[in-house]
Structure 1
Amino acid sequence: MSQANPVRGEAALRVNGVALVLRPTFAALVAAEEELGPLFALVERAAAGGLKLSEMAALFWHCLHGRPDGLTREAFSEGVASGGLAAATPALKVLLRQVLQGR
Structure 2
Amino acid sequence: MSAAANPVRGEADLRVNGEAVVLRPSFAALVAAEGELGSLFELVERAAAGRLSLAETVALFWHCVVDRPDWLTRAALGEAVAARGLAMATPPLRVLLGQILAGR
With normalisation by structure 1, the TM-score equals 0.97
How many residues end up aligned between the 2 structures? Answer: 103
Question: RMSD in angstroms over aligned alpha carbons?
Answer: 0.7
Alignment of 1:7-86 (within 5 A): 7-86=8-87
The one-letter code sitting in structure 2 at the alignment partner of 1:76 is L
Using the alignment, how far apart are the partners of 1:19 and 1:71 within structure 2? 11
State whether residues 15 and 83 of structure 1, in contact with CA within 8 Å, keep that contact through their aligned partners in structure 2.
Answer: no
Using the alignment, how far apart are the partners of 2:22 and 2:84 within structure 1? 16
Using the alignment, how far apart are the partners of 1:80 and 1:16 within structure 2? 10
Q: Runs ≥4 in structure 1, deviation > 3 angstroms? A: none
Measured after TM superposition, the shift of residue 16 of structure 1 is 1.7
Using the alignment, how far apart are the partners of 1:81 and 1:16 within structure 2? 12
Using the alignment, how far apart are the partners of 2:89 and 2:60 within structure 1? 12
Indicate yes or no: 2:100 matched with 1:99.
Answer: yes
Query: Which ranges in structure 2 are unaligned for 5 or more consecutive residues?
Result: none
